Structure 1
Amino acid sequence: MFTRRNVVKGGAASVLSGLLASSLWAKGPKAPNIIFILADDLGYADLSVFGREDFETPNLDRLAASGMALTRSYANSSVCSPTRLALMTGQYQYRYPGGLDEPLGVDPTLGLPADVLTFPDLLKKAGYDTSLVGKWHLGGLPEFGPLKSGYDRFWGIYQGGADYFDHGMTIHSKFTHDLWDGEKEIHRQGYLTDLITNQSLRELKHFKARQNPFLLSVHYTAPHWPWEGPEDEEIAAEIKNSFHYDGGNNATYAAMVKSLDDGVGRIMDALYANGQADNTIIVFTSDNGGERFSKIWPFRGMKGELLEGGIRVPTIFHWPGHIPAGTTSDLPNMTMDWVPTLLAAAGIEARDQIPLDGINLLPNLLSKTTGQDRTLFWRHNAQNQSAAAKGSWKYLSMSGHEFLFDLAADPREVANLKDKHPDIFTNLKSSFAKWNKEMLPYPENSFSYEFRGKGNIAGY
């Protein structure tokens, strides 16, 4: 499942035993800086360090070699906006109307409300500078936006995707430009992945001058469609619909991922050049599972599905002096867990300020222990999907059919064991039903994705 060919084998876990009290995380000369890098539609095995073989991702491999690769990381959703809402709140996204699946933007009244206390809000209250570069996709102006939800600065796109050269969406022959500096529309030339990287480097210089601890959220649009590599500007000019499902190829996808990898490398190099690296946490992950050209082996399924390929994501956690280099963890974790985890690293007690569904992963990651025996839940309106996972067992309901899988023995989710293990099946199904009663119901007229072929969905 996970290849160590680019990961330095290392230990040093013994130095961690004294770091397990959350009050100690930020006792150094300065609270740790945080860079959260979020890819868009990146498949579980799309990094060479996670198993991609037809192209290399040397910079992300380097990040894993100096930190920890998490091999059982899950996105909060199999589609984009709900996961991003969970990342902002540390909660299951289904607690909010804006988290009831995509595409967010069809209903202009939905988004992340400005009065909801968020992850960047809490860091800002603790003296952090906060900046988001890249994709927002949690509601549009004038009611919603990053500057209303805890970020000091924003540079990027508000919607779910954009052409990599025109920086907007073309739908039904109508083009809408979508590139902003804060709440001011701007126009720039260049490949969007590179522009996001360039702006991230400017933010690092700004933070260095300010001398405050910082949160830099780098939310790339890559490798989300339209399928355009850095050298494809002429091809991009011919695309008449941003829902570019019939375009692209494996080579184009490789170029998109490698451009993302190059950007991460430039950010890492700038951290070292600026003297910021030793006190900076870096988290890299994806908002959901892979799309058309992704590699998701050994799983099956893809974006929009609650099979492992739609929700399992590659994740790297880098924290010099705390996370031993070249290590791996199979601790089950979910996007929303990064909120209490990173707040704990910053020395911030969050649970007395906001309700959290996520858990602090630090004690288990730093001590290499298995963690609590928790159950994780998902649902998705398309195909009436629901899922619950506890340990190696996973309950899945999809298109009116129910399954029980043993992920340890059957990661491809082929053998349905619900009749062989009826007690486990019943318990997980009951757990899902109990949890689901706590979440908001889908509205009767809610939009649901239309599938455009086996396992492929139309949407952001």
Structure 2
Amino acid sequence: MTRPNIIFIVADDLGYADLGCYGGRDADFGPVSPVLDSLAKNGLKLTQGYANSPVCSPTRFALATARYQYRLRGAAEEPINSKTRGTPLGAKLGLPPEIPTVASLLKKAGYRTALIGKWHLGYPPHFGPLRSGYEEYFGPMSGGVDYFTHLSSAGQHDLWVGEEEHHDEGYLTDLLSQRSVDFVNRMSAGEAPFFLSLHYTAPHWPWETRDDRETAEQLGAGITHLAGGNIHQYRRMIHHMDEGIGWIVEALRSNGQLDNTLIVFTSDNGGERFSDSWPLVGGKMDLTEGGIRVPWIAHWPAVIDAGRSSSQQCMSMDWSATVLDAAGVAADPGHPLDGISILPVLQGEGAEFSRPLYWRMLYRGQRALRVGEWKYLQVEGNEYLFNLARDERERANLATQEPERLQRMRADWEAWNASMPAIANDASYSLVYTLKNMPAR
């Protein structure tokens, strides 16, 4: 088979049940995500897929490298934010250009590569998409920007083409979608396969739909928007993203590229203030299921039969390994992958398999391990053991009923943690909001 084109779409802070195909409720205007629902209906939907982290940039390190993010200093649970731009700390925190990435490996193998959307892996001149395998880049470098003014939370303009700041009028979600359509059209005229990383900022704050330009002018640099937003705006933001994905699907179809294009959709972590994660508990920053279990949709008509659902357990870095496998590209032997390809599951030729999934967070001293239907969790020194097959909401702590299993899983986590670089002594984390701003979830 001809090597596939690959479009890897990442939403920002999307909850597990925000999409209709994952049980999300309709909005007042109708279905929230009809395009993504259709991709799931005509492809593969995974119900036990996870993000590598419950916070933005660490997951993006894992997606870029197909390795645990903990292996790199910049991803050590220390979110890179706009205030590190141009500082000595900012010169340390980022994805080192010498580290092989999915994009650099695909580029070396003849793929045309582009990142359109959020980077969040460090600032030029030390870091940047063009230094890590992408030939083209359009989007914000920081973790969040206003949808209209394109200002970061530090009040700096943050929209780039390559490594040059670029001023463009328009609603950011639409700009990213339109740029992606243009990329598909241009690449379809050539012979080489293409790899597009499309990293939307939606539905991340600030809470702005296409109709909220006036809100943007009022906010200025106050884009965390703690006093604004509502579920209706939030769902429309998702819908705008869904519409843009529809434009891209139509561009693929009109160029005769849809059948042999692998489209993957996910979120970088669990949802934030207005998200829906039912029946899961928790959200962004938490290692409870609502903070790390996310949608995973794969659409590839030439390979994936329509209407499939899988309970294969996986995390972000596994999908990066899967992309390389689908393209027939080997990993760099000096940087062996932690991710495990699930291409046989996509192809319908391989049985689902169990593998351990590990997490750690400096915030609240969190640690987690999932093996099969069991999950070990520690938060602020308190230990929990859950059977997720019976208790997805993590309410029934079985630690005292299963002491041997608890001890075994704790030891497994500690052995894994010892194999990873320690969290740096000067590492920190940032919280956008606390109990002062919003009651506990």
Q: TM-score range by the shorter chain?
A: over 0.9
Aligned pairs for 1:110-129 (under 5 A) are 110-129=93-112
Q: Which piece of structure 1 moves more, 346-355 or 35-44?
A: 346-355
Cα offset, 1:446, TM superposition: 1.4
Q: Structure 2 counterpart of 1:427, which letter?
A: R
The CA deviation string for residues 324-356 of structure 1, in whole angstroms up to 9 with x for no partner, is: 101100100100001221111111232646311
1:100-123 CA distance string (max 9 Å, x none): 113214330210000001101111
Distance, in Å, in 2 between the alignment partners of 1:456 and 1:395 is 30
2:239 corresponds to 1:247: no
> 1:151-171, CA deviations, whole angstroms, 9 ceiling, x for partnerless residues?
011011111010000012244
The 3-state SS of whatever aligns with 2:409 is helix
In structure 2, distance between residues paired with 1:370 and 1:394 = 22
State the partner residue of 1:35: 7
Which of 28, 32, 45 is matched with 1:69 structurally? 45
Query: How many Å separate the matches in 1 of 2:408 and 2:345?
Result: 26
The TM-score with structure 1 as length reference comes to 0.90
Query: Structure 1 pair 304/36, CA: closer, same or farther in 2 (3 Å)?
Result: same
Partner SS, residue 197 of structure 2: strand
Separation of aligned partners in 2, 1:58 and 1:416: 38
Identity of matched residues, % = 49
Which stretches of structure 1, 4 residues or longer, exceed 2 Å deviation after superposition? 349-354, 364-373, 448-457
Deviations along 1:341-389, whole A, 9 cap, x unmatched?
Answer: 1111111232646311110101233336543331100011110100000
Residue in structure 2 matching 1:101, options 73, 77, 87:
77
Of residues 363, 377, 380, the one that matches 2:361 is 380
2:164 aligned to 160, 184, 200, which one?
A: 184
Equivalent runs, 1:265-414 vs 2, <5 Å: 265-350=246-331, 352=333, 354-367=335-348, 369-414=350-395
Aligned CA distance change for structure 1 residues 129 and 232 (closer, same or farther; 3 Å): same
SS of structure 2 residue aligned to 1:238: helix
Q: Distance in 2 between matches of 1:68 and 1:373?
A: 19
Given that 1:300 and 1:308 are in contact with CA atoms closer than 8 Å, whether structure 2 keeps it comes out as yes
Classify 1:302/1:434 alpha carbon distance in 2 versus 1 (closer, same or farther; 3 Å): same
Of 208, 224, 231 in structure 1, the residue corresponding to residue 188 of structure 2 is 208
The counterpart of 1:48, out of the listed 20, 23, 27, is: 20
Counterpart amino acid of residue 209 in structure 1: A
> Aligned-pair distance for 1:441?
1.4
**TM-score of the two chains, using structure 2 as the length reference:** 0.94
Shift in alpha-carbon separation, 1:450–1:157, aligned structure 2, 3 A? closer
Instruction: Note the residue ranges of structure 2 that are not aligned, 5 or more in a row.
Output: none
Mapped contact 2:207–2:225 kept (Cα < 8 A):
yes
1:448 corresponds to 2:429: yes
1:455/1:327 CA distance change after superposition, 3 Å: farther
Equivalent residue letter for 1:231? D
The 8 Å contact of residues 142 and 158 in structure 2, kept in 1 or not, is answered as yes
Aligned AA for 1:338?
W
Alpha carbons of structure 1 residues 186 and 200: separation in structure 2 relative to 1, 3 Å: same
8 Å Cα contact 1:75/1:334 also seen in 2: yes
User: Which amino acid is the alignment partner of residue 59 of structure 2?
Assistant: T
Deviation at 1:230, TM superposition (A): 1.0
Instruction: Give matches, 1:91-170, under 5 Å.
Output: 91-105=67-81, 106=84, 107-108=89-90, 109-170=92-153
Question: CA distance change for structure 1 residues 144 and 412 in 2, over 3 Å: closer, same or farther?
Answer: same
Answer whether contact 1:302 1:455 (CA < 8 A) is retained: no
Q: Which residue of 2 aligns with 1:13?
A: none
State the match for 1:6 in structure 2: none
Q: How many residues align?
A: 426
Paired residue secondary structure (1:37): strand
1:325/1:455 Cα in 2 relative to 1: closer, same or farther (>3 Å)?
farther
Distance 2:349 2:13 in 1: 29
**Gap runs ≥5 in structure 1:** 1-27
Q: Which amino acid aligns with 1:448?
A: Y
Structure 1 Cα separation of the partners of residues 148 and 244 of structure 2: 17
